[in-house]
Amino acid sequence: MNAASDKLLILGAGLTGLSVAQLARGGTILEREARPGGMAQSFQRDRYTFDFGGHYLHFQDSEAERFFSPFLPVLENHQRESFVLIGEELLAYPIQHSFFQRFPLQTPSLPPHPPEPERSPNLAKHLQATFGPFLWELFFKPYNTKLWKCPLETLQAGGARRWIPPPPTVVPTPAEKAGYNATFGYPKTGGIGKMAANMASGVRVLYGTPAEKIDRAKKLVITKGREFPYQKLISTIPLNALLSLSDHPFPAPSPLGVSILNIGFRGTLQRPFSWIYIPHPSIPFFRVGRYPGGDEDRHGLYFEISFREEPPPATEVLLRHARSLLSLLGAQGEVETILRLNLPEAYPTPSLTLSGKLEGLFDSLKEDSIYPAGRMGSWQYLSMADCYNEAKRSLLQAEILKV
């Protein structure tokens, strides 16, 4: 531990918070839960291992991969087998590739020169201009409306470049190689939580210690009657929570919650899959996936539904919908166990009202020696592998790491 990191306080022991502590070789983490991982936790139920839905590793950055390598359990590499459910038919993902291979007469409906996401006025306009009216109505509009639970005209389009593969007329890539997650790694046993547990080894984490108030003037985090002074505070907790705890005047942004119904299913799946996107309004789930590995006749499945102000449906209601969906997909067998998990703050909403304002907010927090980081902390959708770069960025800003 060096003198700078000795004065470092970190909020949240998810992958970004743990990466901060490992890179800084010191600091103290305050963690609300009884164990590390944040969204990257795993849970054992009977013979099944469940996560908070699909959390897979797809490194695009060799530096990040080298950093995480010592903490990785034994990984198995997988080729993506993903689909989009249209009617009762599964079309290979990305649908913008497979649909036009299946129905070539529709190819002229693709715009020849789609706009740059950053120049689009909103997500709705960008998706329409990029994929044309047919695919917009067939998939992109119903799916994203179901996912985001808000008008797509109110969302920024900036993140679309990285996360939504372009049409094959723009980037002629085979469907099986399109997108950032064409291949991915996942622990052979124990779930993704093994990685977080390994990262927490040798790091000072105070579990069951949620921040209850942040005094920006005195540089104190207060929790359970205790005061934790800091010189530098790196916060990986959701930005809306940070603003509330610190009485900051910036209007707190609205997160998107996700509820996950995990099911241990014994039987046969008509067709193996990694995950399936579901645009149908009548089916509540926006995605169903299968955890990699497991026995031949036992499948760990996850069914995801998003929510905002209104709470998600009761477990028995979702289980009924899950059984119907499995029947539609031709699965035969029985449900052996279930585990319901909720993430009230799963995705940062890219609201247009935030456009051009977050940089000023982060500058003002920096004046108070507070540095938001991570998916929910810096309010940008990130993969797990991105946690390293977020940790490095925040430590450089806090001048704990030097260039």
Q: Tell me: the pLDDT tens digits for 43-94? A: 999 999 999 999 899 888 899 999 999 999 999 999 999 999 999 999 999 8
Structure tokens at 83: 């689909």
Residue with tokens 């241990």: 264
Give the residue range(s) of CATH 3.50.50.60 domains in the chain.
3-41+192-253+351-397
- The answer to whether residues 301 and 287 touch, using CB atoms and an 8 Å cutoff, is no
Gap between the Cα atoms of 45 and 310, Å rounded: 28
In the CATH hierarchy, which top-level class contains the domain 3-41+192-253+351-397? alpha beta
- The answer to whether residues 251 and 239 touch, using CB atoms and an 8 Å cutoff, is no
Residue-wise pLDDT for 294-318, tens only, equals 788 999 999 999 999 899 999 999 9
- The answer to whether residues 199 and 29 touch, using CB atoms and an 8 Å cutoff, is no
pTM here? 0.94
Sequence-ordered list of residues with C-beta below 8 angstroms from that of 174, at least 6 positions apart, any chain: 97
Q: Which residues of 299-325 are buried (b: 16+ CB within 10 A; e: fewer)?
A: bbbbbbbbbeeeebbeeeebbebbeeb
Gap between the Cα atoms of 210 and 224, Å rounded: 8
Specify the pLDDT at position 1. 46
Residue with tokens 């036992």: 298
| C-alpha triplet 116, 139, 307: angle, nearest 5° | 95
Residue-wise pLDDT for 125-161, tens only, equals 999 988 888 899 999 999 999 999 999 999 999 877 7
Cα atoms found within 13 Å of the Cα of residue 121, Cβ hemisphere only: 4
ω into 112 cis (within 30 of 0): no
Specify the pLDDT at position 97. 82
